[in-house]
Amino acid sequence: MTATAQPVDVSNYDGLVLYYYRYCPYSQRVLVTLEETNTPYKPVEIDLLNKPEWYLKINEKGETPTLRLADGTYMTESNLISAYIDKNFSKPGETLIPQDDGALPFYKDLQVIYVVISKEAYLANQSSDMKLKQKTWDEVYPEFLKIETIFRERATGEGYAMASRYGFNDIFNQPFFTELIHLGKTLGHDVYADKNLPAFNKWYKACSARPSFIHNIPDRFQKN
């Protein structure tokens, strides 16, 4: 699937239609959720670097993802879209959203930290200014250590953020932490070899081995 500048006719398609950009972390959240729940959908890729005019009629902000529902209405915001998919398409007993008292605080703690670091890391990765990259890394690395502390205290089992189960704690954070890993990589800091981050690396390794991660979180730094 490649991004299209021409409008895609989906009028005869009565299922879900996802407008996404493969290198957008928010789109990646939804793509992973769709695969994890085996939800059928029609993908339409939008190039956010060259937004087509027709897409602005669907999403006036020109952002991704946007989900067209079967009734022709649209949803935006990756967390809302993912929650909708989970509620309507997950198998009974296999919901991705944290349900127990122990998982919910974990989810909220991670959300607070990724909000702090994700935007800064994303913008630094977009820039060619190495001084900005280094400054950003120096600022966000202490937050990385907070993440490590959370995983040491709460992640168990197979390394996922919800013990042995893979869920939104993992899906919502892995695209953004991927940004941070690549920021470190451009500065010669190998996160995988960082002895201060063993629990984080166990988690990231478990997530990145899943087919949904492999299929939907490409290395945007390798694109042409």
The domain segmentation of the chain, as residue ranges, is: 16-89, 103-222
Query: Strand 41-45's sheet: what is its strand order?
Result: 41-45, 16-20, 66-68, 74-76
CA distance 2 to 141: 35
- In the numeric block, the tokens 């670091």 are attached to 117
Please tell me the predicted confidence (pLDDT) of residue 145: 87
The CATH code for residues 16-89 is 3.40.30.10
Its pTM stands at 0.86
**Could you list the mean pLDDT of each consecutive 10-residue stretch along the chain, which spans 224 residues?**
73 92 92 97 93 94 96 93 94 78 58 68 83 89 84 71 76 84 86 90 90 86 45
Residues 6+ apart with CB under 8 A from 117: 140, 143, 144, 176, 180
Please tell me the predicted confidence (pLDDT) of residue 33: 96
Assigned fold of 103-222: Glutathione S-transferase Yfyf (Class Pi); Chain A, domain 2 (1.20.1050)
Residues 6+ apart with CB under 8 A from 145: 196, 197
Nearest to 179 by CA among 209, 217, 213, 223: 217
